[in-house]
Structure 1
């Protein structure tokens, strides 16, 4: 059963990640359509421990039915569609990470979810900027960041071996001032 509601947008709800969500996270991370663009290794249930992500704020992205309350809703009242995380927010520039199940790609759920998390970061942390990275071959992720006002700040060449070849990591940043000017 997903956890408590943190915030909601027009279509998505961000909820706390609970131990019951590990099977969803594991299935999704094993999906090549998600894992390859992220460059993530396969992990088993024991390696996906929601309590072990120190210094990371994790959000389960859900589509809630009308009956879903702010607390721990019934399993039938929510549909899990992805995860957004914020790492290192308490001691350096926060870094976003996100993924969504392939069934919702292109539907705008990512833009709405990441936007809610950017707003959360600037509300909860005294930071002048937030960052995110995307592989040069991940046009959808780069487009999402750019649509929210993120600016390309640099490139880590041949950063990681992903899906059969070394890929560049494109680093993005968004200043608090830029985010507020957009609103």
Structure 2
């Protein structure tokens, strides 16, 4: 059974990640189209953790509600909020390649931004994207994020050292948009 509904938009629903979602969540490390753009390592189910710790990340599954599956949903991605309880929250997100370019990413990240500003007393949200990940960088820019810095040769990904670009969005910028 899917996790509890956290919030919904016009087309997507964000639900809590549950133990039965682990095989789906592993896709981020197993699918080269996702792994390289995220910098993830391959993990087995035992290495994957859905934290019950109050200070752990908020891991949400991006779902489409439909009648095609036994549980009534189709899982298409993940959004996560790290460090929300004790410093500036950082967003992470991915969608399965089959739905790239259909606007689900913008809707999902927009919903999680609303969720963060409702749930945490924070003046800003951060996010990061590799310099080569134009789609992710474009998504953040379209939602009003500002480039705040660059970590040069941050991680070895797909055979090369890659820069990580840091972004930020202030609460008042989001509310004014």
TM-score by length of 2: 0.95
Whole-Å separation in 2 of the counterparts to 1:164 and 1:30: 17
Q: Give RMSD over aligned pairs.
A: 1.5
The match for 2:61 is 60
Is 2:32 the partner of 1:37?
no
Q: CA deviation at 1:26?
A: 1.3
The match for 2:150 is 155
* More displaced stretch, 168-177 vs 25-34: 25-34
Is 2:140 the partner of 1:145?
yes
Whole-Å separation in 2 of the counterparts to 1:5 and 1:58: 12
Whole-Å separation in 2 of the counterparts to 1:129 and 1:75: 39
Whole-Å separation in 2 of the counterparts to 1:80 and 1:89: 24
Pick from 104, 110, 117: which aligns with 1:115?
Answer: 110
**What is the total number of aligned residue pairs between the two structures?**
176
Is 2:94 the partner of 1:99?
yes
Deviations 1:108-143 (A, max 9, x none): 000000000000000110000000000000000000
Whole-Å separation in 1 of the counterparts to 2:65 and 2:150: 37
8 Å Cα contact 1:154-1:171 kept in structure 2: yes
DSSP 3-state at the match of 2:34 = helix
Pick from 104, 109, 122: which aligns with 1:127?
Answer: 122
Matches within 5 A, 1:70-81: 75-81=70-76
* More displaced stretch, 51-60 vs 163-172: 51-60
Q: CA deviation at 1:51?
A: 2.7
The match for 1:18 is 18
The match for 1:88 is 83
Q: CA deviation at 1:2?
A: 1.4
Runs of 4 or more consecutive aligned structure 1 residues displaced over 4 Å after TM superposition: none
Q: CA deviation at 1:52?
A: 6.1
